[in-house]
Chains A and B, each alone.
Chain A
Amino acid sequence: MMTGMWALYAREVKRFQKIMLDTVFSPLVNVALYLGVFGVVAGDRMVDGISYLAFVYIGLLSMMLINSSFSNPSFALIIAKNVGSIIDLQLVPIRNWKIGIAYALAGLTRGFITLGIAVLATVWFIPLHTIAHPLPLLAGVAITGIEFGMLGVAFGFWAKSFESLTILTTFIMQPMIFLAGVFYPIATLPAPWNIVSQFNPIHHNVNIIRYAATGYSDGSVMVSAIVVCAISALFFALMNFVTRRNLRMQ
C-alpha cells in the first residue's frame, strides 16, 4: 500500500521541519563562510572559461546537498534505535524497502530545501547568471540527493551510535569530498590524487551538477552520469540489505 510509505515520508519531513533553523542555517553559514574566504582569495580568477568563484560555489552546494541528504536519515535512525522507537518500523504494515525509500526521500527533501535556501541567499554574489542545462540540473540534484539519502539509511541502520557517524563523516566523507573536485579541477591535482579522484564517486556527482549548472565539466560527463547511476543502484542494494537485516524477523 502506497499511503503507508508516504505517511512515513511525511513524518520524516516533519521531523526536520521542526528544527528548521538547524536545517537551514548551519549549512548556510558554512557556504557563506567558504564563499567569503574564496571570494577574497580568488578574486576574478578564471578556470577554463568560468569564474573560479562560480566553480567553487557549485562544488560547495553539491557538498551541502550530499551532507544533508546523508545525515538526515542517519541521524533519525540512530536516534530511533537509541530511544527504541525503531519498534514502530517493525510493527507497521510497510515493506522494508519502502521504509528505506521513505527515509531516503526525506533526506533528499531536506537536501533540496537546504539547497534552495542557500541558493536564494547567496546566488546574488556569484558571477553566475544563467543555468546551462536546467532539467539535467534538476535530475542531477535529485539523483545525488536520493543516492546519498540511501547511503544515509544504510548507515543509520548499521551504526550503533553517533560516534560511528562522526568517525564516518570525519575519516571517510570529508576526505572524499576534498578529493572530489569541489575546490579545484581534479586535473590540477598532483600525480596520484588526480587518478584517485576519478574513483571517488562524489567527484562524479559534483561533475554532473556543475556541468548542468555552468556548462563546465571536469572530465567526461557521460562517464560521470553512468558512475552516478551505478553507485545509486549499489547504494539501493546496500540500503535494502542493511534495512532487511535490521527489520526482518530475527
Chain B
Amino acid sequence: MHSLEITNVTKKFETPKKDPFIAVNDVSFTIEQGKIHGLLGPNGAGKSTLISMICAMQRPDAGTILVDGASVTEHPTEVKQMLGVVPQEIVVEMAFTVEEVLYYFAGMYGVPEHERGARIREVLTELDLIDKLKDRARNLSGGMKRRLMIAKAILHKPKFLILDEPTAGVDVSLRQKIWALVRRLNAEGTTILFTTHYLEEAEQLCESITLIDHGRVIKNGKLKDIQQEFSKNAIHFELFDRCVPHLDGVTEVGSDYEFPMTDLGRDMTALTTHYKGNIKTIRSESASLEQIFLKLTNNSNV
C-alpha cells in the first residue's frame, strides 16, 4: 500500500486584490511505504501548502489525499494520529520547559504517561538536547528550538514523518545529526516526506523525489531514474580557453559545456580530437539534482 497518495490536488488562495491565486495546481504523486521522499522546489512553489493539506490543516479545493488509504478530509483525526509533523515555522510555547512541552504533546497523541519520560530522554539524547530538559523552551536558541520541534513530532512513533525544511538555518554538524535521526527512523520503518533547500541533502537521502514549481509537478520519480534521464545523453566538459571554435552541437551550460551523446567512446574521441589539450575536465557522470533542477525550472519559465 502507498503511505501517501495525492491525486489531482489543487489549492487556490485569494490575493489581497481578490484575484484567485493557484498555490498548488493539479498535483499528483505517491509515496511507497517505508521510503524517504523529497519534495523539492524553489521558494513559493507550494511545498508548505501541499504539506498543510496532507496534515489536515488546509482543505484541498479539488483532488484527494490518502494517508495509508484513509482520506484526510474524511478522517482527519485518524490521519493526524498516524502523522508526525515538523512545520516550517518555528513556534514554541511560552510557559513551559522542554520536558513539559514534550510530556504534554506526547500525551495528546495518546502516549501513556508511564512511557513518556523514557521516550523524552531517548529522543532528546539523540538530538543532543538532553541537558536542556529543564530549560524554558522559549529561551532555547533557534537550532535548539528546531530540534525541539523534531522531538515533538517523533515522540509518538508516527508511521509517517513529515518535515518541512527541517534544516533551514541549522549549522552543518547539526544537519548531520538530524539526517542521521531521519535515517534511523526510516530504517525502523517510518515513511519520510521532507522538503529542503539543500539539494545535496536530497541527493544523499532520497530514493524518490517530486520537483514542483509554481504549484505544478515538473518531475516525479526515482532519483536514480531522473538522474539517468538527464545525463545519459550528454557529455559535460570544461575548457581552459573558452574563445575557440566549437564542435557542432556543443552548448554552454553555466561554466560547463554540454555535448549530446549517442555513443560514449566515439563522442569522447571526437571531443578530445577537436579540443586537444584545451580540455580541463570531461565526464559523462549523472547530472546533479541542482543541474536538473535548474534546467527544469528554466524550461518551465520560458
* B89 touching A93, Cβ below 8 Å: no
Q: How far is the CA of A90 from the CA of B78 in the complex (A)?
A: 13
Q: How far is the CA of A8 from the CA of B92 in the complex (A)?
A: 16
Given contacts A14-B100, A87-B91, A91-B80, contact A249 B108 (CB under 8 A): no
Q: How far is the CA of A10 from the CA of B104 in the complex (A)?
A: 8
**Stretch binding the partner chain, chosen from B34-42, B53-61, B180-188, B212-220:** B53-61
Q: How far is the CB of B151 from chain A (nearest CB, A)?
A: 13
Number of chain A interface residues as a range: 20 to 34
* B91 touching A84, Cβ below 8 Å: yes
Q: How far is the CB of B101 from chain A (nearest CB, A)?
A: 9
Q: How far is the CA of A15 from the CA of B104 in the complex (A)?
A: 11
Report B-chain residues with C-beta under 8 Å of the C-beta of A90: 55-57
Report B-chain residues with C-beta under 8 Å of the C-beta of A6: 107
Q: How far is the CA of A19 from the CA of B300 in the complex (A)?
A: 56
Question: What would be 27 A-B contacts, judged by CB atoms less than 8 Å apart?
Answer: A3-B107, A4-B108, A4-B109, A6-B107, A7-B104, A10-B107, A11-B104, A14-B100, A15-B95, A18-B95, A18-B96, A79-B94, A85-B92, A85-B94, A87-B87, A87-B91, A88-B105, A88-B108, A90-B57, A91-B85, A93-B77, A93-B81, A95-B77, A249-B58, A249-B76, A250-B58, A250-B59
Q: How far is the CA of A83 from the CA of B93 in the complex (A)?
A: 8
Whether a CB of chain A sits under 8 angstroms from the CB of B73 is yes
Contacting residue for A249 out of B56, B96, B106, B107, CB 8 A: B56
Whether a CB of chain A sits under 8 angstroms from the CB of B112 is yes
Q: How far is the CA of A45 from the CA of B109 in the complex (A)?
A: 57
Whether a CB of chain A sits under 8 angstroms from the CB of B117 is no
Q: How far is the CB of A241 from chain B (nearest CB, A)?
A: 18
Binding site for B on A (CB under 8 A): 1, 3-4, 6-8, 10-11, 14-15, 18, 79, 83-85, 87-88, 90-95, 249-250
Closest to B85 in A: A91
Closest to A102 in B: B108
Whether a CB of chain A sits under 8 angstroms from the CB of B110 is yes
* B58 touching A92, Cβ below 8 Å: no
* B91 touching A92, Cβ below 8 Å: no
* B57 touching A94, Cβ below 8 Å: no
Q: How far is the CB of A57 from chain B (nearest CB, A)?
A: 33
Apart from A14-B96, A92-B105, A249-B58: 17 A-B pairs, beta carbons within 8 A: A3-B110, A6-B107, A7-B108, A10-B107, A15-B95, A83-B93, A83-B94, A88-B108, A91-B87, A93-B81, A93-B108, A93-B109, A94-B77, A95-B77, A249-B56, A250-B57, A250-B59
Contacting residue for B80 out of A10, A93, A250, CB 8 A: A93
Q: How far is the CA of A11 from the CA of B113 in the complex (A)?
A: 13
Report B-chain residues with C-beta under 8 Å of the C-beta of A249: 56-59, 73, 76
Report B-chain residues with C-beta under 8 Å of the C-beta of A84: 89, 91
Closest to A15 in B: B95
* A92 touching B108, Cβ below 8 Å: yes
Report A-chain residues with C-beta under 8 Å of the C-beta of B85: 91
Contacting residue for A85 out of B56, B77, B91, CB 8 A: B91
Q: How far is the CA of A223 from the CA of B14 in the complex (A)?
A: 50
Given contacts A91-B80, A249-B73, contact A7 B107 (CB under 8 A): yes
Q: How far is the CA of A8 from the CA of B73 in the complex (A)?
A: 23
Q: How far is the CB of A92 from chain B (nearest CB, A)?
A: 4
Q: How far is the CB of B87 from chain A (nearest CB, A)?
A: 6
Q: How far is the CA of A7 from the CA of B156 in the complex (A)?
A: 13
The CB with the most chain A CB atoms within 10 A, among B59, B89, B91, B92, is that of: B91
Closest to A79 in B: B94
Q: How far is the CB of A6 from chain B (nearest CB, A)?
A: 7
> Scoring B residues 68 to 90 as 1 if CB is less than 8 Å from chain A, else 0, what string do you get?
00000100111011010101010
Closest to B82 in A: A93
The CB with the most chain A CB atoms within 10 A, among B76, B80, B83, B108, is that of: B108
Closest to B97 in A: A18
Contacting residue for B107 out of A4, A95, A250, CB 8 A: A4
